Amino acid sequence: MERPLDGPADAPTPGPLDGVLVADFSRVLAGPYATMMLGDLGATVIKVEGPHGDDTRTWKPPVDDGGIATYYLSINRNKRSVVLDLTDPGDLAAAQELARRADVVVENMKPGGMTRFGLDHPTVAATNPSVVYCSISGFGTHGGAHLPGYDLLVQAVSGLMSLTGDAGGPPYRAGVAVFDVLTGLHAAYAIAAALRHRERTGEGQLLETNLLSVAMSTLVNQSEAYVGAGAVPHRMGNEHPSVFPYQPMPTGDGELIVIAANDGQFRKLATVLGDPAMAEDPRFTTMSDRISHRGEIEQRLRARLATRSAQDWYAALTEVGVPCGPINSVDGGVALAERLGLEPVVRADDTAATPTVRNPVTWSATPPSYRRSPPPLGADSAEVRAWLADG
């Protein structure tokens, strides 16, 4: 996109995607998360919204001091918002022109939804053959094309909820829309790779991903347990099927996450707890042995941990390299990241009052930038419409 539209809010150091124009026809979470990642790296992202705006604008509470939904704020920085009613011929023509000029198009309508507007991949590619076009759905474009793509639904049908919760209790969803976020990440990396391919060959391409396929992949060891060994995983509460200990354990004044993911860590744990013989017991020598005798080891660990506070054990175990930690609330997690120098909170260069959470990757040469706070609905409509009309 021409530099005049980018304006004075550009980062002083161009990002690796500087000059890439993204037409973002997505809404809610997976697509907007992907396009925010692209925007953080310098891409110009134009967020196309209908007259009522992205659904997440209404997902309240919580809200910031200005009454804006924090859900929306979490996934929409570094974008411009233009309101285009695709049922209006003039607005539809503007949307089609935007897609014609874009380097990247991202959409997550129900499969086939973009076709009725002439914004599907074949139509866009006919006038923009080098476009990288990314379609995100819940269940793909074949037998599941008619199914609505909600993260909770995918958590249920993929098997994740069957793995989450106490062994004897009901299934639970994860506390965040994990498959939406993971699908957004997969979309962003696929787009970056497709742009690299286009740079070498001049060819655009269609990228398709969906929440269920991402779920199958990111269930990792749990899905492979079934695919590779025919073993159907089940709920184990906070225990791990292949590593022990790897769970919260009670101490003298509260719970502490305690992990011994290898034999060396287990020996250190036993020594610090004052029970070095536990690590020498032939029943507990290897991880497989410890899994087989989980109950016996847990009794000994609980007895030792009960003698001191969680903070005391945290200090002692961390000093020797045994992974452990408290179970924080979100404010505690942010505070820890700040203490560790990870700088988790950022503010946009446009002096927006509401901070957001920083991009989690550090680049030595092309760092992310926070040029624009999440835009109000239609904040850039006049500017974008004028640019599109300028031919």
Here the CATH number for the domain that contains residue 262 is 3.30.1540.10
Percent of the chain with pLDDT over 90: 94
Chain center to CA of 60: 20
Provide CB contacts within 8 A for 82, sequence distance 6+.
Answer: 46, 47, 48, 49, 378, 380, 381, 384, 385
Maximum Cα–Cα distance for the chain, whole Å?
79
Give the count of alpha carbons within 13 A of 97, CB side only: 16
Residues 256 and 308 in one domain: yes
CA distances to 93, 259, 308, 319, 391 from 268, in Å: 67, 11, 17, 10, 68
**Looking at residue 161, what is its pLDDT?**
97
Output the six-digit token pair for 157. Answer: 């049908």
Residue 26 sits in the same domain as residue 144: yes
Residues 305 and 371 in one domain: no
Residue 214 pLDDT exceeds 90: yes
pLDDT band, very low/low/confident/very high, at 1 (cuts 50, 70, 90): very low
52 and 158 part of one domain = yes
Tell me the catalytic residues: 180
Query: Is the same domain home to 130 and 267?
Result: no
**Rounded distance, CA 107 to CA 99, Å?**
11
Residue 3: pLDDT band (50, 70, 90) is very low
Task: Write the DSSP string, 210-253.
Answer: EHHHHHHHHTHHHHHHHHHH-------TT--SS-SSEEEEE-SS
User: Do 195 and 281 sit in the same domain of this protein?
Assistant: no
Residue 306 covered by a domain: yes
Q: Dump pLDDT digits (tens) for 132-147.
A: 999 999 999 999 999 9
Same domain flag for 18 and 104 = yes
What pLDDT does 391 receive?
72
Distance, C-alpha 213 to centroid of its chain: 15
Distance CA 372, CA 44 (A): 11
Kindly state whether residues 312 and 198 are assigned to the same domain: no
My answer on whether 322 and 363 are in the same domain is no
Note the pLDDT of residue 8: 44
- 82 with 27, same domain: the answer is yes
Please indicate, yes or no, whether residues 111 and 44 belong to a single structural domain of this protein: yes
Which H/E stretch holds residue 89? Answer: helix 89-101
Structural domain boundaries, residue 283: 246-328
In a domain, 36, yes or no: yes
pLDDT in tens, 325-382: 999 999 999 999 999 999 999 999 876 678 999 999 999 999 999 999 999 999 999 9
- Is there a contact between 102 and 23 (Cβ–Cβ < 8 Å)? yes
pLDDT band at 10 (very low <50, low <70, confident <90, very high): low
Residue-wise pLDDT tens digits, 251-289: 999 999 999 999 999 999 999 999 999 999 999 999 999
pLDDT band for 6, please (50, 70, 90 cuts): low
Let me know: does 132 contact 191? Beta carbons within 8 Å: yes
Specify whether 300 is located in the same domain as 350: no
Residue 91: CB atoms within 10 A of its CB come to 18
Q: Which of 328, 358, 374 is the last residue of a domain?
A: 328
Total domains in the fold of the chain:
2
| 152: phi then psi, degrees, rounded to nearest 5 | -60, -40
- On whether residue 338 sits in a domain, the answer given is no
What pLDDT is attached to residue 29?
Answer: 97
